[in-house]
Structures are given as structure tokens and as C-alpha cells.
Amino acid sequence: MGLFYRIAADIVVAVHLGWILFLIGGAFIGRRVRWVKWTHLAALGYSVLLQAFSWTCPLTYLELWLWNRTPAGSYTGSFIAHYLEKLIYMEIPRGLLLVLTGIVIGISAVIYCKTMPPRS
């Protein structure tokens, strides 16, 4: 059963990275696909709330919960987790993270505004 939890934790780490990449680049797909646009905008809003209130991402809680159920009961990680976690959990000062989030939101806004049909 420990192998199941380890694999599940690795999958959560990969999904977490995918979520971050979606936040950064989702506007490029969202400008063409309406449901992706609204999902992306909601995701950006949620990420701002996470940062504004210093909440921990639910994926982080799930990952820790899974790792604590492995036989070792430790958060040592596997091959996938080792490399992906370095990308996901970078040590970035909170202020810089807020600035980077603002930049992502600004770029997304420009992308979405450029794809809006002109008003008559």
C-alpha cells in the first residue's frame, strides 16, 4: 500500500506543476477556448486569495497527507518529486511572489483584451 501512496504523491506533484503552468500560460489557450478562459481567470483569482491570506494550496496538503502514509512516514520524495518539488516549492520571498503574480495577471489581461472583438 505504501507504493500506492508514493505514486499518488508523485501524481499530485505533477498535477501541482501543471496547475502552476496553467496559471502562467493559460491565457494563451483561454483566448481561443471560452471555458478555459473562465477557468483560468477563476484560477488566477484563487491564487491571489491564496497569497493574500497566506493560505497553503490544497494540493500541498494532499501531497503531505499521501507522503505521511508511506511506510517510512517521511517526506523524502521520489525521483519525480525530487525534481518537480524544486520547481514548485522555490524559496521566493512573498513580496516577489506577489509581484510575479501581478505580472502574470497583467500579461493574461493583455492577451485576453487583444482577443476581444471590437465594440461597435
HEC letters along the chain: CHHHHHHHHHHHHHHHHHHHHHHHHHHHHHCCCHHHHHHHHHHHHHHHHHHHCCCCCHHHHHHHHHHCCCCCCCCCCCHHHHHHHHHHCCCCCHHHHHHHHHHHHHHHHHHHHHCCCCCC
Question: For 52-66, what is each residue's pLDDT tens digit?
Answer: 898 989 998 998 898
Domain boundary assignment for the chain: 2-114
Residue 20's pLDDT band (boundaries 50, 70, 90)?
Answer: very high
Q: Please tell me the predicted confidence (pLDDT) of residue 77.
A: 55
Kindly report the pTM of this predicted structure: 0.79
pLDDT at 89 over 70: yes
Q: Tell me what pLDDT residue 35 has.
A: 95
Whether the pLDDT of residue 40 is over 70: the answer is: yes
